[in-house]
A and B are shown apart, each in its own frame.
Chain A
């Protein structure tokens, strides 16, 4: 009885630490993934500045069949806008694989405040779509994205710019696009992404404000950011769209290749550690059941003497180990959940993640199911050998030995 309790405690600790560890590590993983994945579109549609694929000479009849060499080719001036953007957006929104499309206008600008002048980039976005698709809300230090949507002259500044120019919400800032007139905008929010480069240069307005600043029409978008339902389709769809709409596309896997590797490695590490814990717990159970058999030799002997067969004894020990597995496993899940909840409360403040206050924990049901299954499987396997040994005990040797 006592030993069974110790064994169950062993399982409990194994499962609990597996749950806590895997929840914590995948929580951290999700957070890190989120840092990049949340903010990146799955497919980015844009218009790259580059030379025409076909030079004029190749169309001239007599040279068309020849091998032509053209030196000092210059890129063609086509603007940075996505061609035929309205039709593309409509087509994308109808595609069932696409979650949503967020159009964006971004352009290099100068920020003026008093005598200071800082170069940066302005992003005209649809604030609510941006909030929905890219969790922009998570990076808002001050201000309200709905206000950004409705304001015709509001701007959300990166924290770095605001600090450098000593600006606060409600202050006025002048912004001018390359070759355009200065525009007076009102600071209505501060954003912090946790990346100095970004915070020191980026600012956000709504689409119309940015388009007016650049002096372009309302169908001018430099980027279409596509979010898919299934991220793994991104590379294939990116190629498909590039052909279909004759635009340039970039999928998230290509853009963040190293990042993918990092995620995979971290996931492998957390599973390896978790499985190791469970295996160690399994050996603990094996040991304890083995000890239990030595301790219970007399009981086994008398059971056999009074008519229990070897398979009866084996069944008894297997049911003991299964009970250890079930009770230890369930208790382990509860304690593991408790540990995760505690970790969830531990303060974790970092510059990089303004909206994170405590350690992230992933309460995914899958890990609890894996934990339970594994506790059952390990206790069964750890129990079967000692149980067989118990079944083979010769009662005569035990009873005569007294």
Chain B
């Protein structure tokens, strides 16, 4: 079996405010390349906390985190930032588009940081992704001229711009109506099927989770089930 895209070993995370409390308790999991995984659990089960530990943005944990086989635990903030830039795409509940920049510029920002391609190439790639998501005609609008579903698709395009190893989603459909949720899910589905994109999505939407390849369920900071029963 090839190396997992993402692997977590015995992750334990405490919250200290107001009292010390163990949010994650020895969580181990791994995501293989091309898998579409959802993490579900009740509110307070630690699923979001787990995602942020896995995203490398939260570094205050015990255990070990490996991205594509290389150990990320203990690296400096700027090294982690560079790793996120290159290998991880994010889709959050809120779109987080920068209102000062056009849709196209928003998509291009992570690529401009990475500087793997020149400006013309970056712009072309951003356009390709917007086109793939069916919103190429909105490229030169400002984000506030777009509908909620369109904004979320722009956010997905932004997550895709650097061809990341894995895309992480934190309730990516949480703010959307059923129709737009379906559109977003279909996009994720197509990404995994057509492009072999690895996806890890935290959600409390059971419908959404049931349609993914694999469901990891958390309760009180522990993995209580991990399997393919959703299929």
Contact = CB atoms under 8 A, between A and B. Distances in A.
Interface stretch (A83-91, A150-158, A303-311): A303-311
Given A305-B84, A306-B110, A312-B113, A298 B96 contact: yes
B56 to A, nearest CB: 10
A396 B58 contact: yes
Please classify the interface of chain A as helix (H, G, I), strand (E, B), loop, or mixed, using the class held by over half of its residues. helix
Given A396-B58, A399-B170, A309 B78 contact: yes
B94 A307 contact: no
Contact of A309 (B82, B110, B114, B170): B82
Nearest to A395: B57
B153 interface: no
A74 interface: no
Interface in A305-351: 305-312
Interface residues of A, number: 21
A153 B93 CA distance: 100
B86 A304 contact: no
Contacts of B113: 306-308, 312
B96 A307 contact: no
B154 to A, nearest CB: 12
A52 interface: no
A312 to B, nearest CB: 7
B112 to A, nearest CB: 10
Interface size class of B (residues with CB under 8 A): 20 to 34
A55 interface: no
A103 B91 CA distance: 90
A399 B168 CA distance: 13
Contact of A311 (B78, B96, B114): B78
A306 B96 CA distance: 11
B90 A305 contact: yes
A312 B86 CA distance: 16
A1 interface: yes
A1 B90 CA distance: 26
Interface in A329-376: none
A2 to B, nearest CB: 10
B58 A306 contact: no
A5 interface: no
Contacts of B92: 302, 305, 399, 402
B77 interface: yes
A309 B94 contact: no
A302 B98 contact: yes
Contacts of B82: 307, 309
A305 B109 contact: no
Interface of B: 48, 52, 55, 57-58, 77-78, 81-86, 90, 92-94, 96, 98, 100, 109-110, 113-114, 158, 170
13 contacts: A302-B96, A304-B81, A305-B57, A305-B84, A305-B90, A306-B110, A306-B113, A307-B82, A307-B114, A310-B77, A310-B78, A399-B52, A402-B94
Given A304-B57, A305-B84, A306-B90, 6 more contacts: A304-B81, A306-B85, A307-B82, A308-B81, A312-B81, A399-B94
